[in-house]
Amino acid sequence: MVLVTGATGILGRVLVLELLKKGKKVRAAKRKSSNIEEVKKSWLFYTADAERLFEQIEWVDVDLWDLDSLRAALDGVEEVYHASAKVSFHPKDAQEMLRTNVEGTKNMLYIAEEKQVKKFLFVSSIAVLDEVNENGIIDENSQFNPKEEHSGYAQSKYLAEMEVWRSSAEGMNTIIINPGVIIGTGNWGNSSGELFTTFEKNPFTFSGGTAYVDVRDVAKIAVELMDKNKFGERYIILSENRKYQDLSD
């Protein structure tokens, strides 16, 4: 059994789909208020077999701060894809992101260890990587620089990564992926795609740019990494870099 958290999110829903297409049994974790019909509708963009595959999902309501809820969700689970996260670029949400992204991940890892989960993949972000290599490029050896200014989201993902590395050091088989801004169908209000909403609401431009990636590529690579047991490492997943000016035009 495979558990996917954040299963109604832009990435989580496609992870579920990719796993089902590979014949895996999937338990999809969601909040009680989540709209699963919207997920099924979005699948029509990705597959002609949406209805049949959707019926195979075992949905479960999960509260990241209720350990008994997590125990029930992780019962009989061998693999976890932890894609659940609070995404915001608003300073007012900084504390909520710390609670959800850091403490929620810590709780997931604690119960996963208790339940002897065999594999744990954590969805992080390129936002946590600062230092460039000798060629001026960010790679998997790049580190978070606490002396630089970061968004609350980046800080929360960095601290969550620290919890994953701790579990890895203690013997859990973990993988961290660091995708760029994920492009896909679904609710952009709680994903890295919120960046596009920001551009729509504000008639100004930004300097610089960032990297983007198709959600289908992220899901396929994540599943492949787990299937090939690529543990104890991080993997950057992106497609191309674009300037912010290009998005606001």
For residue range 103-140, list pLDDT tens digits in order. 999 999 999 999 999 999 999 999 989 877 877 788 88
Contacts of 248 (CB under 8 A, 6+ apart): 199, 204, 205, 206
**Domains observed in the chain:** 2-186+214-241 (3.40.50.720)
* Portion of the chain with pLDDT greater than 90, in percent: 70
| pLDDT tens, residue by residue, 174-204 | 999 999 999 988 655 554 445 445 445 555 4
Flag whether the pTM goes above 0.85: yes
| pLDDT tens, residue by residue, 16-52 | 999 999 999 999 999 999 999 999 999 999 999 999 9
At which residue do the structure tokens 């969550």 appear? Answer: 160
| pLDDT tens, residue by residue, 55-100 | 999 999 999 999 999 999 999 999 999 999 999 888 898 899 999 9
